[in-house]
Amino acid sequence: MFTLPLGDHAVLRPLEPWQAREFLAHIDRSRGSVDPWIPWATFSTDLVSATATLQRYADRQAQDAGRIYGIWLDGTLVGGVMFTRFDGASGVCEVGCWAEPAGEGRGLVTRACRELIDWAFRQRGMSRVEWWAAAGNTRSIAVARRLGMSRDGVLRSHSSYRGRRYDVEVWSLLADEWPPTGDASGAGDRAELDRLMGVFVGAFTNTDGRRPDLDVIREVFIPQGRIIANTGDEPVIHDLDAFIAPRQRMLTDGTLTEFSEWEVAERTEVVGSVAHRFSEYRKSGFRHGEWFEGSGHKTTQFVRTPAGWRIASLAWDDDPAPAST
């Protein structure tokens, strides 16, 4: 069995029927976030049905019509990626993904999808890779954007789930849009910047009993890094110590619970040993027991150091809260 390292103590490898018990436990942990978007999660409710789900993909792989792979983080299955459709004759395939909360915010899904897309284009000579996502699945659509896909259009009222019709967005990549083999370093740079951003954003997550450890922020910043809140009348500039300590308290003392933040869109440019990323984000959780949702924008500067890419500075501005009625 092959194993591909994804960084952050995570690996990608095939997900097979004999792993159905582990797969079922993982789906049970992620059902709240996966079930609305991944149809087979609805039907994988016991060992027999979970085995059947993986067997269907094993049969598709035998027919060269689909494949499924798991993402393991520190030895625990936390998500995966798949070719939901694979048609070598037409040169068109579809890639999909899923993750439980413990696998979110680290860039693992994006990196795993890049491995599948690279294999489809370089090894199998595919012409087009598609990404289909329900119009309300903002996290899936954000992955499509990070992969450099173009939005082809919307299939209105295309799919039915539990009595409700969903619009489906179709995104795609063409073979000539994928970086050539000689540009592997550029793709590697981009993957590393995705990872750094994923670690930063994911550090704040405390959903489903997860205890955040904001000290990981020090690992992705240069020691002299600055984090700037431009949400009031004047910018508030923090060094790492001043930023981390109060937020660690808020996320562990009950002030903020079930909190998570995620990118919904980004533009990244790399020029030599510096890079810049402009991001749109959303966030949600309970603040002092009251549910809230928010959004905003970040600008992040990266520098290449002897130890690799690191964040030099990050500034953010929250969007105004909608007026109450």
Read off the CATH number of the domain in which 91 is found: 3.40.630.30
> Would 280 be classed as within a structural domain?
yes
121 and 200 housed in the same domain? no
82 with 12: CB under 8 angstroms?
no
Global pTM? 0.64
> Would 185 be classed as within a structural domain?
no
Q: CA 196 to CA 215: how far, in whole Å?
A: 14
In this structure, what token pair is assigned to residue 103?
């696998």
> Would 104 be classed as within a structural domain?
yes
Domain boundary among 113, 145, 178: 178
Strand partners, 12: 4, 71
- Residue 69: other Cβ atoms inside 10 A: 21
Among 7-11, 48-52, 187-191, 235-239, the minimum mean pLDDT is found in: 187-191
206 and 132 housed in the same domain? no
80 and 208 housed in the same domain? no
> Would 191 be classed as within a structural domain?
no
Average pLDDT value for residue range 278-287: 93
Q: For residue 291, what pLDDT is reported?
A: 95
Question: Is residue 48 packed enough to be buried (19+ CB in 10 Å), middle (13-18) or exposed (0-12)?
Answer: exposed
> How confident is residue 184, by pLDDT bands cut at 50, 70 and 90?
very low
pLDDT of 160 strictly over 80: no
Residue span of the structural domain in which 305 resides: 196-318
**Which residue is listed with tokens 């259009």?**
153
131 and 275 housed in the same domain? no
Q: For residue 65, what pLDDT is reported?
A: 96
Q: Give the amino acid at 76.
A: T
> Would 190 be classed as within a structural domain?
no
> Would 47 be classed as within a structural domain?
yes
> How confident is residue 77, by pLDDT bands cut at 50, 70 and 90?
very high
- DSSP letter at 123 equals T
- For 323, list phi and psi in degrees, rounded to 5: -65, 135
The helix/strand/coil state of 256 is strand
Q: For residue 180, what pLDDT is reported?
A: 63
Q: For residue 325, what pLDDT is reported?
A: 46
210 and 172 housed in the same domain? no
**Which residue is listed with tokens 């959303």?**
282
Query: Any idea what the CATH number is for the domain that residue 223 is in?
Result: 3.10.450.50
Strand partners, 229: 236, 316
Q: CA 275 to CA 306: how far, in whole Å?
A: 15
Q: For residue 182, what pLDDT is reported?
A: 47
Q: CA 219 to CA 203: how far, in whole Å?
A: 11
119 and 228 housed in the same domain? no
Domain boundary among 178, 207, 228: 178
Domain boundary among 178, 210, 237: 178
pLDDT of 324 strictly over 60: no
Average pLDDT value for residue range 183-201: 77
Report the number of distinct structural domains present in the chain. Answer: 2
169 and 306 housed in the same domain? no
150 and 210 housed in the same domain? no
78 and 206 housed in the same domain? no
Helix (H) or strand (E) holding 191: helix 184-202
61 and 123 housed in the same domain? yes
24 and 84 housed in the same domain? yes
49 and 172 housed in the same domain? yes
Average pLDDT value for residue range 187-195: 80
In this structure, what token pair is assigned to residue 286?
């309970």
> Would 208 be classed as within a structural domain?
yes
> Would 189 be classed as within a structural domain?
no
Q: For residue 286, what pLDDT is reported?
A: 95
To the nearest 10 degrees (0 to 180), the angle between helices 184-202 and 108-122 is 160
